[in-house]
Amino acid sequence: MSDWKLQTPVAFLIFNRPETTERVFAEIARAKPPKFLVVADGPRPDRPEEVEKCGATRAIIERVDWDCEILTNYSDVNLGCKRRISSGLDWVFDTVEEAIILEDDCLPHPTFFRFCAELLEKYRLDHRIMQIAGCNITHSKPASGDSYFFSKYGGIWGWATWKRAWSLYDVGMQTWPLLRDTGLIENMLQKPEQIKYWKTIFQKTYQGEIDTWDFQWILSCWLQSALAIIPSSNLIENIGFGSEATHTTGTGRCEDMTTMAMRFPMVHPTYMFPNYSADLCIGKTYFSYKIISRIKSKIKKMIELKFLKNLLSIIISIIIAPH
């Protein structure tokens, strides 16, 4: 590990959290990328305290003390998650051919950088692969002892990709209305609870009800029948859970994930098939409308409706009662 040197550009997406940004920046500094691209969103107009927080976060980038080219793409106004990250990554891949990407709450294991760099080189011309993920949210391990496996799900908590893949990204989901009723999602997922989940998510994202960029990325990958690479050892810890987060505002199923070193030289899979059991686990755990949840929701609504009916009856009886 001591003889290896990172040659791959690193893109860092930051906003208003200096505490988590500083921890992730420290790991990037250890890796010493030769080209460092930083994308930052501006403070929200209704939150005056963010002016100081965004300033403090950007000040961390000024601490770069290794020999590298630093490029920044800072917004003076708040663009929001969807527009800032999508436009920021457009800028990144207008600048470089490939990059390792980290957000301000994704703390990488030191071996994450080598893992991404080696696989970016290995699969650079293989259009079957569109993404290298650093996060293994199920802790699934290939029975063969390989260093990684292939999946139709690609995590964005620390990842890497190429300009050739990002060029297929469609933030506006222009093809979704045509795809919605073609059976594409049904054929890919087959499980009714997952089909319902993704069709609902894609529709809400298309309509602008969800301010995000990553569901569009998943759809863009699926439209190419592309695969993601998932490490056998989880290489990313999400340190951003809490009230300051944009999306991970509470506790969840991933906040206690630990990391483990990737061993080198890596053992590469012999065949390029998606890991069906891992995909089934990911889909069932994170991306499905479960029957029990639906039943609980219906019961809750029935109780609430009954309460409202009883309350209405009491109010009516009071109104019409003789005085």
Spatial CB neighbours of 96, under 8 Å, sequence gap ≥ 6:
9, 35, 37, 163
What's the pLDDT score for residue 292? Answer: 44
CA distance 248 to 156: 13
- pLDDT by 10s per residue, the chain, length 323: 468 999 999 999 999 999 999 999 999 999 999 999 999 999 999 999 999 999 999 999 999 999 999 999 999 999 999 999 999 999 999 999 999 999 999 999 999 999 999 999 999 999 999 999 999 988 778 878 999 999 999 899 999 999 999 999 999 999 999 889 888 888 888 889 999 999 999 999 999 999 999 999 999 999 999 999 999 999 999 999 754 545 444 444 545 589 999 999 999 999 999 999 999 899 988 898 764 454 455 556 556 666 666 666 666 666 666 55
Q: What is the predicted pLDDT for the residue at 52?
A: 98
For residues 158 and 10, give the distance between their C-alpha atoms in angstroms, rounded to a whole number.
11
How far is residue 16's CA from residue 319's CA, in Å, rounded to a whole number? Answer: 53
| Sheet hosting strand 129-133, strand order edge to edge | 69-74, 35-40, 10-14, 98-103, 159-162, 129-133, 227-231, 148-151
pTM of the model: 0.86
Residue 101's DSSP bridge partners are 11, 159
Name the nearest CA neighbour of 27 among 132, 128, 111, 142.
Answer: 111
Q: Note the pLDDT of residue 141.
A: 81
Residue among 135, 112, 310, 101 at smallest CA distance from 230:
135
Strand partners, 35: 69
Please give the single-letter amino acid code of residue 88.
Answer: G
